[in-house]
């Protein structure tokens, strides 16, 4: 153990040792007085007045506390501290200074326009509606407006919008002006993907779901350029909303019209089938023919009943061989034969051949054709009513873009936000540097 390992006691411990030394001297003086070895009488109150040897000579050696060599720290600057300070300058201060100098002397002022608009639909107030129907209609309308709003938001930041701006708003010329700074100036030779990324940096659109309002912010290096670009974006957005609304209406009406066309074709075919069948059978309606034959049979049966009653009355007064009874009996036989013939004509062809369909078969076929015609007619009427309802509903589903804050040419440059970006760069670099220093210190302590 060497002298550099000894640590002197603090001043408080020295004062305590001095007090202990004075007490020992007083006790030693009193002992010598009792023994009579002192040559001079000294009052007890003067004990403190006795000259004592110098404090340096009388104080015993102060106790010391010895530290192990590993705990001792040399009063020299370590290499790690120098590296930490140098890295702080390079990783934190230097980037902040560079960014501050860029925004102070190089960054070009950017003028921003703010526009606010919303997608709205026409409300239905033409007739009364119950609560459930009103709620369903309102929910469908609001859902359509929200969907269209998200479509417009994505379209504004999409490649299609960039292509429209390049073709109609001099997009490349506006953002590649020589007076712009190198960082924000557009390179006209970039591919379309690069132009889309640049457009997403110079423009932003936010959609608020609570009120359905979209906020569009467009930046440019000149106020007139920002206003022109904003107007073109709103114009294209309005065209898109109108196209979406028109397409939805046309789709619904087109589907209903297609159903009407199919039903009309079916009804026409059914009518043609009935007419063709009438031409082949040469009768207007087998139903009418059956009714006529049924009426003939009924009249014959009525005559038979009358003759039977007459025959019964004649037999009561005449014999069976009398001419009058024989005549009536022959009439009855003729009528019964005619009734049988009429009934056979319903199930047997008129000429006795199998080529001509009997009345029952013709009647069954005719009823099928008539039923098909009636069903086609009902379907045609129903589809036509659906078409009219679709046209009315299409008018209700109309969408349009309501612009209530149109971006005008600004008078003051609001971008780039120098203080904000300097603070972001400084805080980010500081946290990254601090994290790296903490990791390096931990590794240094583990390996020491």
Per-residue pLDDT tens digits for 270-301: 888 888 877 777 777 776 666 667 777 777 78
122 plus 205 within the same structural domain: yes
pLDDT tens across 144-155, in order? 788 889 999 999
Residue 435 lies inside a defined structural domain of this protein: yes
The pLDDT score that the predictor gives to residue 195 is 94
- How many Å apart are CA 300 and CA 444, to the nearest integer? 129
Q: Is the pLDDT score of 213 beyond 90? A: yes
Is the pLDDT confidence value at 131 over 50?
no
Measured distance CA(431)–CA(426) in Å, rounded: 9
Specify the pLDDT at position 411.
80
Q: Which residue has the tokens 């023919």?
A: 289
DSSP labels, 5-23: GEEPPPHHHHHHHHHHHHH
CA distance 113 to 379: 57
Assigned domain for 385 exists: yes
Residues 36 and 49 both lie in one domain: yes
- Over residues 405-409, the mean pLDDT reads 85
| Domain presence at residue 440 | yes
Task: With respect to residue 72, please indicate whether it lies within any of the assigned structural domains.
Answer: no
Domain shared by 348 and 437, yes or no: no
Together in a domain, 170 and 253 = yes
Count of domains in the chain? 4
- Are residues 173 and 37 part of one domain? no
**Predicted confidence (pLDDT) at residue 245 exceeds the cutoff of 60:** yes
Are 67 and 7 a contacting pair, CB within 8 Å? yes
Asked if the structure places residue 128 within a domain, the reply is yes
Rg (CA), the chain: 58
**Alpha-carbon gap, residue 361 to 29, rounded angstroms:** 159
Is position 336 within any domain?
yes
In this structure, the answer to whether residues 302 and 251 fall within a common structural domain is no
Containing structural domain, residue 153: 108-260+400-417
**Distance, CA of 292 to CA of 52 (rounded, Å):** 165
On whether both 256 and 294 belong to a single domain, the answer is no
- Is pLDDT of 169 > 60? yes
Which residues have a Cβ under 8 Å from the Cβ of 63 and sit 6 or more positions away? Answer: 9, 13
Instruction: Please determine, for residue 22, whether its predicted confidence score (pLDDT) is greater than 80.
Output: no
Residues 130 and 86 in one domain: no
Q: Which of 187-201, 250-264, 313-327, 396-410: highest mean pLDDT?
A: 187-201
Residues 242, 140 share a domain: yes
In a domain, 270, yes or no: no
**8 A C-beta contact, residue 117 and residue 401:** yes
Q: What is the mean pLDDT of residues 218-232?
A: 92
Give a yes or no: residue 276 inside a domain.
no
| Tens-place pLDDT, residues 345-402 | 655 555 544 434 566 777 778 788 888 888 888 988 888 888 888 888 777 667 788 8
Question: Any idea what the CATH number is for the domain that residue 141 is in?
Answer: 3.30.1890
Which tens digits make up the pLDDT trace of 66-103?
Answer: 545 544 444 455 788 888 889 999 999 999 999 888 88
Q: How far apart are CA 320 and CA 339, in angstroms?
A: 24
Based on the fold, state whether residues 177 and 114 are members of the same structural domain.
yes
- Identify any residues that bridge with 206 across adjacent strands, giving them in sequence order: 215
pLDDT of residue 96: 92
Same-domain pairing of 255 and 404: yes
**Which pair of structure tokens corresponds to residue 45?**
């109150």
Which of the residue ranges 227-241, 268-282, 423-437 would you say has the lowest mean pLDDT?
Answer: 268-282
Q: Quick one: 124 and 256 in the same domain?
A: yes
């Amino acid at each position: 153990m060497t002298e550099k390992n000894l640590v002197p006691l603090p001043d408080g411990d020295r004062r305590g040792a001095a007090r202990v030394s004075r007490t020992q001297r007083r006790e030693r003086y009193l002992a010598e007085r009792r023994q009579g070895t002192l040559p001079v009488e000294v009052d007890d109150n003067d004990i403190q007045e006795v000259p004592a040897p110098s404090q340096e000579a009388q104080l015993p050696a102060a106790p010391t506390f010895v530290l192990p060599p590993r705990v001792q720290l040399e009063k020299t600057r370590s290499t790690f501290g120098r590296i930490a300070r140098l890295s702080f300058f390079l990783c934190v201060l230097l980037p902040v200074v560079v960014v501050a100098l860029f925004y102070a002397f190089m960054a070009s002022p950017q003028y921003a326009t703010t526009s606010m608009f919303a997608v709205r639909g026409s409300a239905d107030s033409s007739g009364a509606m119950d609560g459930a129907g009103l709620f369903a209609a309102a929910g469908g309308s609001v859902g359509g407006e929200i969907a269209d709003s998200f479509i417009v938001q994505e379209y504004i930041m999409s490649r299609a919008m960039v292509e429209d701006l390049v073709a109609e708003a001099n997009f490349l010329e506006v953002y590649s002006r020589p007076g712009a700074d190198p960082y924000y100036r557009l390179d006209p030779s970039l591919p379309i993907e690069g132009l889309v990324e640049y457009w997403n940096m110079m423009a932003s659109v936010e959609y608020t779901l609570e009120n359905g309002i979209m906020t569009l912010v467009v930046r440019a290096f000149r106020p007139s350029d920002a206003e022109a670009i904003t107007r073109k974006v709103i114009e294209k957005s309005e065209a898109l909303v109108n196209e979406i609304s028109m397409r939805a209406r046309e789709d619904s009406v087109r589907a209903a019209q297609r159903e009407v066309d199919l039903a009309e074709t079916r009804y026409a075919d059914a009518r043609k089938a009935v007419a063709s069948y009438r031409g082949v059978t040469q009768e207007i309606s087998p139903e009418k023919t059956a009714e006529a034959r049924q009426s003939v049979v009924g009249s014959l049966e009525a005559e038979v009943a009358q003759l039977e009653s007459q025959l019964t009355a004649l037999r009561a007064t005449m014999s069976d061989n009398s001419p009058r009874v024989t005549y009536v009996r022959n009439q009855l036989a003729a009528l019964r034969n005619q009734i049988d013939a009429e009934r056979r004509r319903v199930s047997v062809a008129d000429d006795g051949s199998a080529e001509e369909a009997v009345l029952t078969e013709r009647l069954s076929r005719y009823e099928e054709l008539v039923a098909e015609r009636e069903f086609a007619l009902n379907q045609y009427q129903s589809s036509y009513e659906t078409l009219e309802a679709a046209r009315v509903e299409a008018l209700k589903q109309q969408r349009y873009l309501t612009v209530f804050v149109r971006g005008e040419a600004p008078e003051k440059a609001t971008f780039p936000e120098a203080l904000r970006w300097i603070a972001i760069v400084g805080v980010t670099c500081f946290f990254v540097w601090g994290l790296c220093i903490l990791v390096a210190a931990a590794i240094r302590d583990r390996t020491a």
